[in-house]
Each structure stands twice: as structure tokens, then as C-alpha cells.
Amino acid sequence: MRKSDEDHEKIAIEVEGLSKSFDGKLVVRDLSMRVKRGQIYGFLGPNGSGKTTTLRMLCGLLTPDSGRGSCLGYDIRRDSEQIKRHVGYMTQRFSLYQDLSIVENLEFVARVYGLADPAGEAQRAIERLGLAGRERQLAGTLSGGWKQRLALGACILPKPELLLLDEPTAGVDPKARREFWNEIHKLAADGMTVLVSTHYMDEAERCHEIAYIAYGVLLAQGSIGEVITKSQLQTYTVSGANLAALAETLLGRKGIDMVAPFGTSLHVAGRNAATLEEAIAPFKGDRQLTWVPSPPSLEDVFIDLMARSQDNFQ
């Protein structure tokens, strides 16, 4: 795991064999991953897959049962206090004071971090995140999107090197999500490393690299193109009549690994081209159906991974 100093400087997070259990249940199993500095790294997976537990281990809030790693050059076991000083962690639950205004919350956080000019730092965060004009509004009266902006502003006040975002846009409308992600890309362009967990495919596609974790096991990681290529899925888009009945018929047939509706069409995929062709051959002669070979989408890959991860968990 040791590298040259030059390579080490380019890595924000590197862990190997990370595992964590609660009450005898293995929540994270032998996880290894690497995140480069200045990168937006997407962390995906279903609820209960171990994403939040992993984030908490990375930032020093939980100690792993086994495995090793570093975050910003600090050992995740020995140097948790140093890690906390350089990491901004935004939890799923809004954790600022509901009965304080935007500016009061930000000034309070600035004082907690011991910043030299709390009022000035709060005002700069307000301007940067488009909160101007709402400074005196109570946090508890903000919509989900505005609360997320405020929470992000509080996280970046101490200018962390690494930002950990746990489902930051869950329940937020599409416009607010887009604006939030525009800010994330600005932060990354300024050199900040961002590790973000999300359920949204459009958000995953905004990341430089992604990882997919299910039931504690890391199943895929890399760039979007790499993850799609490694899936080895061969995909058909099917349009026509009675697609729901067709989907029921195809599910479970040998050679077919994924069947999923997409709007008015159906995606049918398999990891072996020959067995897939054999499985769908009886249906390709149906004149009511049109079968078109198509490249697999990221969502195709994740649906396939999720189906396989359930068997893995059992």
C-alpha cells in the first residue's frame, strides 16, 4: 500500500480491507477504495448498504473492526482528531439550529471553529451560496433546498480539504439539486475533494469516479465508462405492445440478467451475448415488438448490480 511521496500527495482517501459490524451484523465487509485529491467521488448503493458507516469511519467518527487506511495523509485509526479538523461532514439530517437565522447559524459555526472574522466568514458564505436576502430567515422555515445550501455553507466555513456529503439532496427538488451540484463542482475546481453518497443516476453521472456498495460489499468502482464496460452487459431496448407481460415472461430465463421498464420501452440485458441471443430468439419474431441493440446505461448496470447483491447478502 506504500507509494512514493509524490503519489501519496495525490491521494485523499485510501483504505484497504475495511470492515465494521454492529450487534453481530457485518455492515461493511473488506472494503478497499481510493479517492484522488480534487475529485468528486460518487458513493452509490441501496439503503442499509453501509455507505453512512463507511463515511463515518473515514472521518474518524467510527473505528473499523479490521482494515487500515488513510484520510488526507492521516491514519484513520490513530489520527481521528486531526482528520476531523480537515474534513467537512454533512449528514443526512439537517443538524443546524432551527430557531436561529441563517446568519446566526453561520456565525455560530464560525466561532466554534475559531475563525478570526466570524461575521465576515458568514457573509462570504451567504454570498457564495446565493443566500443573500435571506440572512435573517429562521433555518426552521427554510425549504429543503435552502436548508441544504445553509448546511453546505456551514461545512465549508473552515475551508476543509475534504467534504463528505451523505445523501445531501434527498427530498430536494430537481432545480435545487442542480444548483447544489453546480456549487460542488466549483468547490472541486478550487481543489476540494468531495465524496458524496447519492441515489440519483443523474448525480452519479456528474461524478469523476463512482463506487457501488451493496450490503457492505463494494461491487464496482471507477469512471462511468469503466463501470459500464466492466459490467459486460449486452443490452436491447424493446418497444411495442404488452411489454409488462413480456417482462414477466423474460424474468428468470437463462441468459437474461436484467429486465427493466424505461418509459414506454423495456431494457433487456445479459452478461453473455450468446446466451442472451438464445434466450430472446423466440420473441424477436413477434411483429408487435421491435428489438434494438443499445449500449447499457449506468442505470442498467446498477439495476443488475442490485439484483445480484441481494443474492450475495443472502
Same-domain pairing of 239 and 222: no
Last residue of a domain, one of 201, 227, 253: 227
Same-domain pairing of 151 and 15: yes
Structural domain includes residue 302: no
The Cα–Cα gap between 71 and 110 comes to: 24
Model pLDDT, residue 312: 41
Same-domain pairing of 270 and 177: no
Model pLDDT, residue 311: 43
User: Which pLDDT band, with edges at 50, 70 and 90, does 108 fall under?
Assistant: very high
Structural domain includes residue 308: no
Class of residue 60 by CB neighbours under 10 A (exposed 0-12, middle 13-18, buried 19+) = buried
pTM: 0.87
Same-domain pairing of 155 and 33: yes
Model pLDDT, residue 68: 94
Structural domain includes residue 312: no
Same-domain pairing of 121 and 265: no
Structural domain includes residue 305: no
Closest CA to 268 of 245, 287, 291: 291
* Enclosing domain of residue 179: 5-227
Residue 4 has pLDDT above 80, yes or no: no
Residues present in the chain in total? 314
CATH code for the domain in which residue 268 is found = 3.30.70
pLDDT tens-place string over residues 122-152: 999 999 888 888 889 999 999 888 888 899 9
Last residue of a domain, one of 167, 193, 227: 227
CATH code for the domain in which residue 204 is found = 3.40.50.300
User: Which pLDDT band, with edges at 50, 70 and 90, does 175 fall under?
Assistant: confident
Structural domain includes residue 246: yes
Structural domain includes residue 310: no
Same-domain pairing of 168 and 96: yes
Structural domain includes residue 106: yes
Same-domain pairing of 160 and 31: yes
Same-domain pairing of 14 and 75: yes
Per-residue exposure over 225-248, b if at least 16 CB sit within 10 Å of its own CB, e if not: eebbeebebbbbbbeeeebeebbe
Residue 135, C-beta contacts closer than 8 angstroms, at least 6 positions apart = 101, 102, 103, 126
Same-domain pairing of 156 and 187: yes
Same-domain pairing of 188 and 263: no
Structural domain includes residue 314: no
Same-domain pairing of 167 and 131: yes
Same-domain pairing of 135 and 256: no
Number of domains in the chain: 2
The Cα–Cα gap between 257 and 238 comes to: 15
pLDDT tens-place string over residues 222-232: 999 999 999 99
